[in-house]
Chain A
Amino acid sequence: SQKIEQNSEALNIQEGKTATLTCNYTNYSPAYLQWYRQDPGRGPVFLLLIRENEKEKRKERLKVTFDTTLKQSLFHITASQPADSATYLCAPGGGKLIFGQGTELSVKP
């Protein structure tokens, strides 16, 4: 069955550093992959979409890569800030959108 795996451990980094979150998927060939941010007690908020024919996508301090050979997406936040602390969800899609369980990121001042 289709499986999405994100870093299960919370990621703790220092302000100003680059955060890198991983999303791996198996038994699936998604046409695109989306990333969302979720704050406690709130619904997820869409951040970025990358398609299978794109290697990399950027938006301000965010960068996403999509490697269909490795079946992996990496999500980077450069110059991280405490306000970036949240849970980040990846969602490969193509017909049906399937969510990973999310990685909790904590950026310390």
Chain B
Amino acid sequence: ETGVTQTPRHLVMGMTNKKSLKCEQHLGHNAMYWYKQSAKKPLELMFVYNFKEQTENNSVPSRFSPECPNSSHLFLHLHTLQPEDSALYLCASSPQRTGNGSPLHFGNGTRLTVT
């Protein structure tokens, strides 16, 4: 396994639902990330947390709300999503922020379908 665990692996939700994605890393890393991967498009960085503090929000709509209670856990709370939000949501961690080349360790993602 990768050391980064994401749950659930698959999620189908209606546009009025509220759900949460969970990510846990067992690598002792200090930085955690949320990425969105849509078909045939590059990975899009959504949020970055470093030592539990949010350091980056790439103009993500407020219907996505991240939470990082500690360096090992990261959540993405979802509400009032749109069908175009359907994608693979990937969590990643790294020893520190990627500025010095630290490789990212990814989980296997949550496949989200919004109906």
Binding site for B on A (CB under 8 A): 4, 31-32, 34, 36, 41-46, 49, 51, 89, 93-102
Closest 4 CB pairs of A and B: A43-B106, A46-B103, A99-B43, A32-B101
Tell me if B101 and A43 are in contact (CB < 8 A).
Answer: no
Question: Residue on A with the closest CB to B91?
Answer: A43
Contact with A along B81-115 (1 / 0, CB 8 A): 00000000010100000110101111111010000
Residues of B within 8 A of A (CB): 2, 4, 40-43, 45, 90, 92, 98-99, 101, 103-109, 111
List 8 A-B pairs, Cβ < 8 Å: A36-B104, A41-B108, A43-B90, A45-B2, A95-B98, A97-B98, A99-B43, A102-B42
A93 is contacted by which of B40, B98, B105, B106 (Cβ under 8 Å)?
A: B98
Main secondary structure of the interface of B (DSSP, over half): loop
- Give A31 to B106 CA distance when docked, in angstroms: 22
- A97-B98, A101-B40, A101-B42 given as contacts; is B103 within 8 A of A43 (CB)? no
CB < 8 Å A-B pair total: 51
Residues in B with CB closer than 8 Å to A102 are 42
In the complex, are the beta carbons of A99 and B42 less than 8 A apart? yes
Whether A97 lies near B104 (C-beta < 8 A) is yes
Q: Which of B104, B105, B106 has the most CB of A within 10 A?
A: B104
Chain A residues with CB under 8 A of B42: 4, 98-102
Smallest Cβ distance from A51 to chain B, in angstroms? Answer: 7
Which chain B residue lies CB-closest to A104? B40
Contact A31-B43, Cβ < 8 Å, known A43-B4, A44-B106: no
Asked, given contacts A96-B98, A99-B42, A101-B42, whether A34 binds B103 with beta carbons under 8 Å apart, the answer is yes
Closest B residue by C-beta to A43: B106
> Using Cβ atoms and an 8 Å threshold, which residues of chain B touch A51?
101
